[in-house]
């Protein structure tokens, strides 16, 4: 997978990190997420670039899992 990084795009933005698996969102347009294990150099580059500007979020997989848990929770409550 070819990933292009435009420093300009990153300026003033906040990095989204999945609060479950610590994946970071590296491209909004294509909704690309990166695991540290997959490319630690690139991962660290993003972390360094954003510094403190990191917000918690959910990657698509964990969002789905979280939604599933909420659904299950609601179902359990109804019983």
**Which of 47, 50, 62, 65 touches Zn ion (CB under 5 A)?**
62
Considering only 15, 17, 24, 59, the residue that binds Zn ion (CB under 5 A) is 59
Contacts of 54 (CB under 8 A, 6+ apart): 14, 15, 16, 17, 47
Q: Which stretch binds Zn ion (CB under 5 A): 8-16, 35-43, 59-67, 68-76?
A: 59-67
Closest by Cα among 27, 24, 3, 21 to 64: 21
Q: Is 18 in the site for Zn ion (CB under 5 A)?
A: yes
Using CB under 5 A, list all residues that contact Zn ion.
Answer: 18, 20-21, 23, 59, 62
């Amino acid at each position: 997978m070819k990933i292009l990084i435009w420093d300009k795009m990153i300026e003033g933005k906040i990095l989204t990190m999945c609060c479950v698996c610590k994946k970071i969102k590296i491209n909004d347009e294509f909704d690309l997420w990166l695991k540290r294990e997959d490319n630690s150099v690139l991962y660290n580059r993003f972390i360094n670039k954003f510094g403190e500007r990191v917000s918690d979020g959910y990657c698509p997989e964990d969002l789905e899992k979280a939604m599933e848990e909420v659904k299950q929770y609601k179902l359990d409550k109804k019983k």
